[in-house]
Amino acid sequence: MPLPSSRIPSFSLPSIDSPGETRKLPPTYNHPPFKRGGLTSDIITRVSNMNPLPKLHRSLIPDLSAQWKPPIFYYGWSIGDLLQRLLDYAEEHGLTRYYGTGTLLSATRDRSESAAKLRSDQSAESDSGEAQWSDIEDDDEDEDLEPEVDILSTAQSALWTMAGKAGIRLLHLQIYQRPFQLCGVLHAPHKIVISAYSNYELERAIPEEDIEKLRKYLGIQEAPAWYVSNTDSTWSVITPRW
């Protein structure tokens, strides 16, 4: 949760500017969304090609008692070429998730079982007088209904499992409280980051030593930095949901 207003002036983390720091935003970042103002398509394009902020400017620490709340910034790393590695790890360890079933299926299970389940469910709907596939204009009635992989959920499951292998305790936490979430950002080319925490979660920021454990385990070379959310990327009088 965000910091209480009384704690903001003295609050300190290695990832943010030191308490009492009065420096202005560097010229590269001295424009929206790092400061208040409209977010035009040209600005979004510019931000998408910018490096993330190395440290969080203190003006971007949310103060919920203030009228204007800053965008959400995520502290972590670009997904880079790790996405395929996470998907491969999930397949090897039975963590793959699929759309259409609402369940976690083993990657080694014959996927035709899921297709058969879907067909069985549809047959039951037909027998009960509910909507039938024949009511829908679809000429591919005999097409195999193989479930589609939910890429982000699969990658997220793999990431949390790998964090555990790196010696970081996560699984006892509620899902919404777990660090190392995969989050969408404005920054190209991948536009997905592994977020240790956001600027709205400084109160429960995971220790730097755990961040370093995961960095080493995944073989990430760059230092973590602050990326702009692609959904809550403007200053607003309404507190964003994080």
Secondary structure tally for the chain: helices H, strands E: 5, 4
Q: What is the pLDDT, as a whole number, of residue 8? A: 93
- CA dist 34 and 57 (Å) reads 9
Rg for the chain (alpha carbons), in Å?
A: 22
User: The dihedral of CA 167, 173, 179, 185: what is its sign?
Assistant: positive
Q: Verify that 162 and 204 share a domain, yes or no.
A: yes
What is residue 211's predicted lDDT score, i.e. its pLDDT? 98
Q: What is the pLDDT of residues 124-172, one digit of tens each?
A: 444 444 444 344 455 554 456 678 999 999 999 999 999 999 999 998 8
Per-residue model confidence as pLDDT tens digits over 107-123 = 444 444 444 443 444 44
Q: 80 and 159 share a domain?
A: yes
- Count the domains in the chain: 2
Q: What is the structure's pLDDT at 144?
A: 61
Find the domain containing 134 and state its range.
Answer: 112-146
Phi, psi of 115 (to 5 degrees): -65, -40
**8 Å CB contact between 133 and 122:** yes
Is 192 a member of any domain? yes
Under-50 pLDDT residues of the chain: 106-136, 141-142
Query: Both 80 and 182 in a single domain?
Result: yes
Q: Is 92 inside any structural domain?
A: no
pLDDT for the residue numbered 241: 82
3-state DSSP helix/strand/coil % of the chain, to nearest 5:
35, 15, 55
Question: Measured in Å, how far apart are the chain's first and last C-alpha atoms?
Answer: 9
21 and 71 fall within a common domain? yes
Q: Quick check: is 101 in a domain?
A: no
| Domain-embedded: residue 235 | no
DSSP string, 102-147: -SB--TTS-THHHHHHHHHHHHHHHHTT---GGGS--S-TTS--PP
